[in-house]
Amino acid sequence: MAANSIFLISMPGGTEWILIVLAVLILFGGRKIPEFMRGLGRGIREFNDAKTNVKNEIEEGMRDKENK
């Protein structure tokens, strides 16, 4: 039973990727895709910056606690 569930979660193959790309092109159009990717890149960058800031604040708090 567990082996069957692994196959259901597998990554798409070559034909599936082609269909996904075609669907995205049809839905968004060729002109909207670069704009969409820029927005996605900005979102990922902001997430990573926030993650780094939280990590630095936690580490700084731990250092302050050790020094007291």
Q: Greater confidence, 58 or 1?
A: 58
Tell me the residue length of the chain: 68
Q: Greater confidence, 22 or 68?
A: 22
Q: Over 60: is that where the pLDDT of 4 sits? A: no
The predicted model scores a pTM of: 0.54
Number of domains observed in the structure of the chain: 1
Range(s) of the domain holding residue 11: 2-67
Cα 8 to the chain's mean position, in Å?
21
pLDDT tens-place string over residues 7-66? 566 777 888 888 988 888 888 787 888 888 899 999 999 999 999 999 999 999 888 877
13: left (phi over 0), alpha (psi -120 to 50) or beta: beta
Model pLDDT, residue 30:
79
